[in-house]
Amino acid sequence: MTIAIKFFASLRETVGQAENSLNSSSIMTVDDAWREATNSMDMPANMLIAVNMEYVERGARVKDGDEVAFFPPVTGG
């Protein structure tokens, strides 16, 4: 299965990549996707996660074709 990964803002700089595409049958949750994409970096405590542009919690499940985004607290306005 294929999962599209995106990183934004300071997290993109920390992780050193803006996007990635994962092909792995062992990815079940956003935590798995994070580990696979970042080579098991520690997750920042305040990080936000979206699947298909909707906020989710850490253990959320992912499926083939999903877009998973990781980013720091938002600072618009």
The contact set with other proteins (CB under 8 A) reads: 6, 8-10, 46, 48, 50, 53, 55, 69, 71-77
Smaller CB separation from other proteins, 19 or 24: 19
Smaller CB separation from other proteins, 21 or 40: 21
Smaller CB separation from other proteins, 35 or 72: 72
Q: Can you give the chain as a three-state secondary structure string?
A: CEEEEEECHHHHHHHCCCEEEEECCCCCEHHHHHHHHHCCCCCCCCCEEEECCEEECCCCECCCCCEEEEECCCCCC
